[in-house]
Chain A
Amino acid sequence: MKFDVIVVGGGPAGLVASYRLAQWGFKTLVLERGRKPGSKNLFGGRIYAHALDAIVPEYRKEGRFIERWVRKERLSFMTDRGLTTLEFENVEREENSFTAFLTSFVEWLAGKAEAAGATLVTEITVDELVRDDKGKFIGVRAGNDVVYGDVIIDAEGVNRLLLERAGIVPKLEPRFVALGIKEVIKLDKRTIEERFNLDEDEGLAWAIAGYPSRYLPGGGFIYTNRETVTLGVVIYLDQWRSIDMPVHEAVERFKLHPSILRLVKGGTLIEYGAHMTPVAGINMAPPRLYYDGLLIAGDAAGFLLHAGVIIRGVDFAVMSGALAAEAVKRAGGDYSAGSLSVYHKLLSDSFVLKELEAFREADRTLHDPRLFNDYVKFVDSFLRRYFTVDGTPRRIYGTMKEAMQQSGLSLWKILKDTVVMFRRL
């Protein structure tokens, strides 16, 4: 059997690509290893709407996967002894990002792609990208079966074993990726709204540095859905030498932190999952994003932006999938690398490569353990001293200086780190 396009991976990138291609009349095959589309997908919990508005605007009407529109953003420093939080509440009722289960979003996309005419086959694990004797990619092999296509879109996800086997990328390095662990906790709707101080359709997105990731690069996260709270920890894999407990313990400790437990108590755990996430952005992209007969999209290409507090994956996956489809259309039947290079141009003109380029240096700051240890402890120690009234005069600078000494910081170090951070983030 022969197809115009074979898409490897029925996740956000692969399904958007196949949806568009099928709409344009390309005979498109999507191969997904999971039992259902979405069954191998896992993320923190939030989707930024802008890319969906551009590519699949009908989601706002059809999208039952929208859990809550995020109108409350929290950023915290957490220690064993306390929690310091900055909260931004948007009272303008804007709809810029929403919480969701990635599984549900992907299932919806799969429905769209199939309705448009794409052939979606699940429970197929692709073992290899097949090339002809000139090196052009001409199909995929799953077990003993080979399927041929004029062009292949690799959207296999962060582990990208197929790209590695094809010799396009080396084995993933620990500094390129982080591990995200997530617990999904069921609570009733009203309890969530009361405890997190939310209106009916409103959601909260919360990033927490320090204690959740054992004061190492990474952090904790909490998102509120309609009737569930998702809570988890992200740990950069190059930190494995420094971690002081197993990662599955770290996430449970985070849940049991007094500031967190009171928000989720009475709930029941309905899923425990984990997934790797790219953290090096453009620095882990394959040498090229297009080859003879092949395009690379989504996490497999490193298309995920870690900009400090803001982490965006799905909008990058959706846009890169859409642009891969666009590139196939523009290639006009000539799927040589030269012709497919239009993909790179399309990505460069879009937010995908523009933003990833702008944050090229971000991962260097986000790998700095000081940020997640010294600073978190400094803030706790400063505020703790400042708010403790015991008859000792606590003027701001003197109190701060004491706290700095205790956490190994100085004004000079803080100034230097701030300058570097402003340059990179």
Chain B
Amino acid sequence: MSAVDRYLSIEERLNANAWDIDVYKPHIRIVDPEKCRRCEKKPCTFMCPSRCYVQQGDEVILSTEACVECGTCRVVCTHGAIEWDYPRNGMGVWFRFG
């Protein structure tokens, strides 16, 4: 748990949460990385509240471990490059103070 008196990085903040991570079958998938490469603004990289999408050069790297399942990435992706499903049975974020 982190004291809130200073700036907390997103990683520090996410550390406060509880999860069951589905390492076998991530619930989000980039369908076509080529679409992301060509995407100019890459909205997923700044609209994801958990910073699951990181830009490296022209590419977008996705890691779903810290996903809080809001669904924003799918909605703001104008190229339809993101396949988003509800996590499998019981997996994913577990809000205790939602």
How many angstroms between the C-alpha atoms of A210 and B41 in the bound complex?
Answer: 24
- Let me know if B90 and A271 touch, CB within 8 A: no
Binding site for A on B (CB under 8 A): 1-5, 7-8, 10, 13-14, 16-17, 20, 41, 43, 45-51, 68-72, 74-76, 84-90, 92-98
- Let me know if B98 and A102 touch, CB within 8 A: yes
- Let me know if B8 and A43 touch, CB within 8 A: no
- Let me know if B97 and A43 touch, CB within 8 A: no
- Let me know if B5 and A266 touch, CB within 8 A: yes
- Let me know if B1 and A268 touch, CB within 8 A: yes
- Let me know if A179 and B72 touch, CB within 8 A: yes
How many angstroms between the C-alpha atoms of A229 and B88 in the bound complex?
Answer: 32
Binding site for B on A (CB under 8 A): 33-36, 38-43, 101-103, 122-125, 142-143, 158-159, 161, 171-174, 177, 179, 181, 183-186, 228, 230, 237, 240-241, 243, 245-249, 251-252, 255-256, 261, 264-276
How many angstroms between the C-alpha atoms of A142 and B86 in the bound complex?
Answer: 11
B74 partner residues in chain A, CB cutoff 8 A: 159, 171-172
- Let me know if A38 and B95 touch, CB within 8 A: yes
- Let me know if B4 and A268 touch, CB within 8 A: yes
Interface centre among B20, B51, B72 (most CB of A within 10 A): B72
**A248 and B95 in contact (CB under 8 A), knowing A270-B1, A273-B68?**
no
- Let me know if A274 and B10 touch, CB within 8 A: no
How many angstroms between the C-alpha atoms of A268 and B70 in the bound complex?
Answer: 24
Q: Out of B3, B5, B8, B94, which one reaches A35, CB within 8 Å? A: B94
Min CB gap A256→B, angstroms: 6
- Let me know if A103 and B71 touch, CB within 8 A: no
Q: Out of A122, A245, A274, which one reaches B50, CB within 8 Å? A: A274
Min CB gap B71→A, angstroms: 4
Between A and B, 7 residue pairs with Cβ closer than 8 Å are A39-B93, A40-B92, A41-B98, A173-B75, A228-B97, A248-B51, A271-B96
B1 partner residues in chain A, CB cutoff 8 A: 186, 268-270
Chain A, Cβ-Cβ closest to B3 = A268
Chain B, Cβ-Cβ closest to A245 = B46
- Let me know if B95 and A33 touch, CB within 8 A: no
Min CB gap A9→B, angstroms: 10
Min CB gap B57→A, angstroms: 18
- Let me know if B4 and A255 touch, CB within 8 A: yes
Q: Out of B69, B70, B75, B98, which one reaches A38, CB within 8 Å? A: B98
- Let me know if B4 and A265 touch, CB within 8 A: yes
How many angstroms between the C-alpha atoms of A336 and B71 in the bound complex?
Answer: 32
Min CB gap B7→A, angstroms: 6
- Let me know if B95 and A41 touch, CB within 8 A: yes
- Let me know if A266 and B90 touch, CB within 8 A: no
Chain A, Cβ-Cβ closest to B10 = A248
- Let me know if A174 and B8 touch, CB within 8 A: no
Q: How many interface contacts (CB-CB < 8 Å) are there between A and B? A: 165
- Let me know if A267 and B86 touch, CB within 8 A: no
A251 partner residues in chain B, CB cutoff 8 A: 49
**A159 and B71 in contact (CB under 8 A), knowing A42-B98, A122-B90?**
yes
**A270 and B72 in contact (CB under 8 A), knowing A35-B94, A125-B87, A181-B49?**
no
How many angstroms between the C-alpha atoms of A228 and B97 in the bound complex?
Answer: 10
B90 partner residues in chain A, CB cutoff 8 A: 33-35, 122-123
**A40 and B97 in contact (CB under 8 A), knowing A173-B75, A247-B46, A267-B3?**
no
Chain A, Cβ-Cβ closest to B1 = A268
**A271 and B41 in contact (CB under 8 A), knowing A123-B89, A161-B85, A174-B76?**
no
How many angstroms between the C-alpha atoms of A209 and B49 in the bound complex?
Answer: 20
**A179 and B49 in contact (CB under 8 A), knowing A38-B98, A172-B75?**
yes
- Let me know if A252 and B46 touch, CB within 8 A: no
Given contacts A161-B85, A269-B16, 17 further A-B contacts (CB under 8 A): A33-B89, A39-B96, A41-B95, A103-B97, A230-B97, A237-B72, A243-B46, A248-B13, A248-B48, A249-B10, A252-B7, A267-B3, A268-B1, A270-B16, A272-B10, A273-B68, A273-B93
Chain A, Cβ-Cβ closest to B67 = A274
How many angstroms between the C-alpha atoms of A101 and B96 in the bound complex?
Answer: 8
Chain B, Cβ-Cβ closest to A101 = B97
Min CB gap A145→B, angstroms: 11
B46 partner residues in chain A, CB cutoff 8 A: 240, 243, 245-247
Min CB gap A229→B, angstroms: 9
How many angstroms between the C-alpha atoms of A248 and B90 in the bound complex?
Answer: 25
B5 partner residues in chain A, CB cutoff 8 A: 261, 265-266
Min CB gap B6→A, angstroms: 8
B85 partner residues in chain A, CB cutoff 8 A: 161
How many angstroms between the C-alpha atoms of A228 and B68 in the bound complex?
Answer: 21
Chain B, Cβ-Cβ closest to A265 = B5
B95 partner residues in chain A, CB cutoff 8 A: 38-42, 103, 271, 273
How many angstroms between the C-alpha atoms of A247 and B90 in the bound complex?
Answer: 27
- Let me know if B41 and A248 touch, CB within 8 A: no
